[in-house]
Amino acid sequence: MGEMLNGVDVFVAAVETGSFASAAERLHLTRSAVAKTIARMEARLDVRLLHRTTRSLALTEDGQGYYEHCMRALEELRAGETALDSGRSEAAGRLRVSVPVLFGRRCVAPVLARLAAEHPRLELDLSFCDRPVDLIEDGFDLAIRNGEIGDGSGLMTRTVGLQRMTVCASPAYLDSHGRPESVDDLLTHHAITYGRAGRIKAWQFPIGDRALRDLTPPSRMRFDDLEAIADAAEAGHGLAWLPCWLIRDKARAGALVPLLESVPRLVFRTHALWPETPHLPLRVRFAIDALATALPGSAEL
């Protein structure tokens, strides 16, 4: 039985990725190791499974039938693992998660680090990156993303938190320039805005059903890092529009003051995304549940 299963994962990866090189990258093997594994399988079965060309692979008729049997066998194995998992209370194995840089460092990493501490057999591999990743191609079990997630084909999603934006300033700035009482008042103040590639991100405020008002206060300081904006606001250089989770500690210490608290705040979702599968590994389920428990409050001020 062990010999029969040996190499099945390599064969399936080669078919799904379309090349030995891509299969090798997915499985962290060399291309020659993949090729030798497929050749050994063909020798053992005494059939040709794949047509090889310089650019791609194609299943033979025998290969197509064998591939379908392999997929059914793997599904049975995954079902067996899930059945075992359901009786366990401990997660195990490597968990690869892609997270946004700042939000990941401040909010996600502490939650997953606690999860890893509670489950000694769990290996945690966090990748901090603000660009979207291809979960399947890049080999991630889970991704955490804020706001719109675009085309989620082939992926499962779950909202694990809500984030609220707020206007804030330092007490020193408010003493010198006064306190804005309405959204229109923001246009008479100095602001520190988020800008990237020459484009300034407008501040947004909900007005009615799903409508937003965009407003860009005057600014002489434009940064493409939210943490730097928070630090500049704390130093008294102007108003800032930032997520509540980022300024929570500064607000509690009195270094920043949330403003316009009677004005509705923009709220956007934090999503967990993972490859669609009929049997979610226990380590992924535990991670999603831990984040859904810890993040929903969005560090409300």
- CATH number, domain of 34, equals 1.10.10.10
CB atoms within 10 A of CB 6: 13
What integer pLDDT is reported at residue 131 of this predicted model? 86
Lookup result for tokens 């997929």? 71
Please check whether residues 61 and 149 belong to one and the same domain. Answer: no
Please check whether residues 46 and 131 belong to one and the same domain. Answer: no
What integer pLDDT is reported at residue 284 of this predicted model? 93
Name the pTM for this structure. Answer: 0.67
Please check whether residues 75 and 95 belong to one and the same domain. Answer: no
Please check whether residues 26 and 166 belong to one and the same domain. Answer: no
Lookup result for tokens 């008042």? 185
Last-in-domain residue among 37, 52, 86: 86
What integer pLDDT is reported at residue 152 of this predicted model? 62
Please check whether residues 150 and 229 belong to one and the same domain. Answer: yes
Residues of the chain below pLDDT 70: 1-5, 54-55, 78-88, 150-153, 296-301
DSSP strand pairing (199-200 vs 267-275): unpaired
What integer pLDDT is reported at residue 1 of this predicted model? 45
| Cα within 13 Å of Cα(209), Cβ side | 0
pLDDT in tens, 253-274: 999 999 999 999 998 889 999 9
Q: How far is CA 161 from CA 93, 191, 248, 268, 288, in A?
A: 26, 28, 16, 9, 11
CB 108, CB 239: distance < 8 Å: no
Please check whether residues 82 and 95 belong to one and the same domain. Answer: no
What integer pLDDT is reported at residue 136 of this predicted model? 80
Last-in-domain residue among 86, 120, 149: 86
Please check whether residues 110 and 16 belong to one and the same domain. Answer: no
Please check whether residues 64 and 100 belong to one and the same domain. Answer: no
What integer pLDDT is reported at residue 126 of this predicted model? 94
pLDDT in tens, 169-223: 999 999 999 999 999 999 999 999 999 888 899 999 998 777 889 999 999 999 9
Please check whether residues 212 and 78 belong to one and the same domain. Answer: no
What integer pLDDT is reported at residue 69 of this predicted model? 82
Please check whether residues 26 and 96 belong to one and the same domain. Answer: no
Its domain, for residue 232, covers 91-301
CB 164, CB 266: distance < 8 Å: yes
Please check whether residues 79 and 154 belong to one and the same domain. Answer: no
Please check whether residues 78 and 102 belong to one and the same domain. Answer: no
Number of domains in the chain: 2
Last-in-domain residue among 86, 104, 139: 86
Which CATH number does the domain housing residue 124 bear? 3.40.190.290
Rounded Cα distance, 93 and 81, in Å: 12
The values of phi and psi at residue 182, to 5°, are -145, 170
What integer pLDDT is reported at residue 155 of this predicted model? 82
Beta strand extents in 80-218 (DSSP E only)? 93-99, 122-128, 142-146, 155-169, 191-196, 199-200, 203-206, 212-215
